[in-house]
Structure 1
């Protein structure tokens, strides 16, 4: 619970989403263990610490349940039903045992001391269980409502998407911020966290914590001189540790419910004074829609007898009508607590505002004006007021911090390499069509495979005096492959070129970790040696093979695909420079470096599209994390995008721009024209 609170404070999500402490089997098991005292019939509670420890256990249970509320938003409906059923069994068992124990020990001093606290804690525990069930019933309908709003907003935003090759850094930042606001305000946990039931649960957790405090003070003062105070506990010295640990747990665990209570009141009551009292107590449809659907749905049981079927159906309707009435009562009670809590929250906010006004606030005022544009991307439920300005500011600031965090990881070596590219001719020049194919069907190309092949050739050149140049090239390509692989993974989602990408990964491990050994005294001898070895490897594999599967080059083993790429690229280099007797290893290394830079630069022109694609995910669970990655990626690639904007990017369709073969076809057509 305290780790969730720490993470919430660090990210300025003061509604404190549940990440580590949620309603699941592990948490319920630990809570069951901690409920040893309330369900123990065999031990007496004559000592002060025994009495207080029983109360602290009940209060701790209620505090844990208060922390469970937001975790319902990130759970599937089936998991919610199972975990709530398990929690209900535990709560009812504990409350029942407390009642039985108090009834059995009625009139004895070990019960009279904390009888009121025991009963009150049990009642509040049951009320928290009902509140959790109320939130769970609202959750499916609220998710559908928010998801519909997100999809509609996504259509509107996608119509204003950034065009490939025609983008600015500010445009990308605006796109990421729009989706960030949509994802954060539409987060299922945030939707539950700002609901009125969170007001109720936070308020009850506060009362429970005060109950424990009152019990500590009253029992210590009232029974200080009682003859049973010094009676030894059945739990001996451990009872003191149980009391201390659970009391600390109540204090720390109350942070999240109280902050959620505060945030929910701040959110829900931001326009309460502008609305009528009657409208403020309106029960929105998403609270009861699930129960109404269950009530009106046909029976799943196959009952042939008409009267029996009608009787069962009427009983089901009667039961669900009762549940709907209970749900309405809970919501109305929560809204009443909201109305009572609003003046307190307004008072606290007023004090903070007075302190804030004493400081210079020019920067915050200018920022508020720019963020008003993003209010239209806030996802809200029916009749919810607008998001408070401070919340929207924190949401946008968090995205800006992610971009700044990404800027700290700018690939400096890659940027130096990209600065060598003045055009994209290397995309066309690394492989020539007149090279003899080693198979009836040519292998297509992906971005990463020619890059790693060219790099392995470049660092294998025998007479390169500056070994630092090789090291810098390997580091730059390593940084570039991070972006290249990300682009391929995002844009080649059908897996068609997966074998080529896997080959590039395997080859790069050898290049990066083991480097390459020169295979000749001159670059021509080395290239000829590499070409001959690669050709022999491919021909030995292809000749005499009747396997239908292996007739498709994409099904070849990694070693054969790598050899085919090496053969074609080395033959292309030999053909391009066969009459150039003055070509030195140093010059060839420079030419290959420029060719590598051209290919990586051409691939990185798809970065803007990848960033925008990462902003949108249909799966709610993946949405926030995907946009987080997009913001970090934008920060890392700011200087890369600035370099690309200085180049003359061809007028290609975005779908074709993702494919290196389409780049090559366009480049060859432009060169011939």
Structure 2
């Protein structure tokens, strides 16, 4: 067993340092399964309620979920644990893919946050994503990750793009919530006024029409519905599906064409728990990709034939609400007072340049998302996949009901 602390030769005894690692791996697998259960619960709930934008109730972005995600992607930030085997290298890749899946799956939850929670959660998620990207890059450089270089590079790129898309969508939430609350109150008052002017007894048909009217008002003004049907959320669904496909092809090539890889011998410090982590994260990626993919399919298929005939110039325009918050911030004066006139002018110039850059980036993100939408809506293969997916989902919904 050896003595704890210093050995006979005076050096630190490291014999027991790696003994808890398999149990830490089991902890990572449990956190990954928790993510899978949360995303599957939202998928089943959305299917049963026929809300095919799949509102995020259990897999929303908050302090608890971010903590669980941080535990689940622990392998991606482990810089010095040896991962020689095939399953070890795949577990490294699946951790990054899981983070991409969770980001895309929980995107509608942005609509239900207030401004403070929105800012705090996005910053916390950004710190986690940047940490994972940097640590993965370090492992690629040091040789801890010695296989699937291209896959890791693509996953890191998808992580960064999804983070930027989340930030872009978060900028529209305060503006959209304020606008839809105003429109909802206005329509609600109009409806009450119309009903108060009618004194005759209403039949079943009229009552049904009124019920549908109120339901549609509440349905389309739902914050999660607005975010879930946005062009950025649609693009995030496509990117989540791409990430899952990257992981799937890496796993298939590893097990069906093992001669194309040269795996090292030895054993990881996580030992038997690594295979559990890989299985749990593969399940989580599979369960979490279905919702964003269906959002993408449905949003593309919702485009009517008349709109498809419009010119690309008409489609590739950025609506006002995407940049309205940034424009308002640019027009607002600085709250900081400067005694020196030069410092005041310099601060204002920096503010204008920075916000102009943010407006340009926001415009580019929205245009890029619309390009993905345009390509998807004109892809015949996508329409066939969408039809098959909707048939499967319809059968699943009938079974659940």
TM-score, with length taken from structure 2: 0.82
For the structure 1 residues 225 and 149, does the alpha-carbon distance in structure 2 shift closer, same or farther, using more than 3 Å as the test? closer
* Alignment check: 8 A CA contact 1:146 1:186 kept: yes
Q: Secondary structure at the match of 1:16?
A: coil
- Aligned-residue offset at 1:194: 0.8
Q: Deviations over 1:444-480 (max 9, x none)?
A: xxxxxxxxxxxxxxxxxxxxxxxxxxxxxxxxxxxxx
Question: Could you tell me which residue of structure 1 aligns to residue 254 of structure 2?
Answer: 219
- Per-residue deviation at 1:162? 5.1
Q: Is the counterpart of residue 247 in structure 1 residue 278 in structure 2?
A: no
Q: CA deviation at 1:150?
A: 1.9
Instruction: Confirm or deny that 1:160 pairs with 2:194.
Output: yes
Q: Does the CA contact (< 8 Å) of 1:269 and 1:338 recur in 2? A: no
Which residue of 328, 335, 343 maps to 2:363? 328
Q: Which of 20, 24, 29 is matched with 2:58 structurally?
A: 20
2: CA distance between counterparts of 1:124 and 1:195? 19
Higher relative contact order (CA 8 A, sep 6+): 2
Deviation of the 1:309 alpha carbon: 1.1
- The structure-2 alpha-carbon separation of the partners of 1:124 and 1:262, relative to structure 1 and needing over 3 Å to count, comes to same
In the superposition, relative to structure 1, how do residues 320 and 75 fare at CA in structure 2: closer, same or farther (>3 Å)? same
TM-score by length of 1: 0.50
Hey, what's the Cα distance between the residues in 2 that align with 1:226 and 1:256? 33
Cα separation, 1, equivalents of 2:309 and 2:196: 40
Matched position secondary structure for 2:55: coil
Match of 2:211 among 165, 169, 176: 176
Answer whether contact 2:300 2:376 (CA < 8 A) is retained. Answer: yes
User: 1:427-506 counterparts in 2 under 5 A?
Assistant: none
Aligned-partner SS, 2:69: helix
Tell whether the 8 Å contact from 2:297 to 2:386 is kept in structure 1 after alignment: no
Which runs of structure 2 are paired with 1:178-193 in the superposition (5 Å)? 178-193=213-228
How far, CA to CA, are the matches of 2:325 and 2:310 in structure 1?
A: 27
Query: Distance between the aligned counterparts of 1:159 and 1:333, measured in 2?
Result: 43
Deviation of the 1:276 alpha carbon: 2.0
2:307 is aligned to: 272
Structure 2: distance between partners of 1:288 and 1:351: 32
The gaps in structure 1 that reach 5 residues or longer are: 357-673
Q: 1:151 aligns with which of 181, 185, 196?
A: 185
Match of 2:102 in 1: 64
User: Match for residue 572 of structure 1?
Assistant: none
2:149 aligned partner: 115
Please tell me whether Structure 1 or Structure 2 has the larger radius of gyration of its CA atoms: 1
**8 Å Cα contact 1:14/1:260 also seen in 2:** yes
Equivalent residue number for residue 321 of structure 2: 286
Aligned residue among 164, 186, 189 for 1:130:
164
Question: Do the aligned residues in 2 keep the contact of 1:194 with 1:268 (CA within 8 Å)?
Answer: no
Matched, 1:199 2:227: no
Pick the aligned partner of 2:84 from 46, 50, 58. Answer: 46
Q: Shift of the alpha carbon at 1:347?
A: 6.2
Provide the secondary structure at the position in 1 that maps to 2:145: helix
Counterpart position of 2:377: 342
Aligned equivalents of 1:227 and 1:104: distance in 2? 18
d(CA) in 1 for partners of 2:61, 2:149: 29
State the number of aligned residues: 351
- Indicate conservation of the 8 Å contact 2:97/2:243, yes or no: yes
> Structure 1, residues 181-234: CA drift from partner, whole Å, max 9, x if none?
011011111111111101210111011001001111223345459774552121
Counterpart of 1:263 in structure 2 is: 298
- Show CA shifts across 1:211-268 (max 9, x none): 0011112233454597745521211110000000100110010011101112222335
Q: What is the CA–CA distance in structure 1 between the aligned matches of 2:237 and 2:57, rounded to whole Å?
A: 18
Q: What is the CA–CA distance in structure 1 between the aligned matches of 2:355 and 2:257, rounded to whole Å? A: 48
Q: Distance in 2 between matches of 1:349 and 1:121?
A: 27
**CA distance in structure 1 between the aligned counterparts of 2:384 and 2:211, rounded to whole angstroms:** 31
Distance 2:157 2:193 in 1: 54
Q: CA RMSD in A?
A: 2.4
Give the drift of 1:136. Answer: 0.5
Q: Distance in 1 between matches of 2:304 and 2:83?
A: 45
Contact 1:37-1:54 within 8 A present in 2 as well: yes
Structure 2: gaps (5+ residues): 1-38, 392-401
Distance of 2:248 and 2:262 partners within structure 1: 23
Which of 88, 92, 96 is 2:130 aligned to?
92
Matched, 1:319 2:354: yes
- CA distance in structure 2 between the aligned counterparts of 1:33 and 1:148, rounded to whole angstroms: 41
Distance 1:152 1:226 in 2: 64
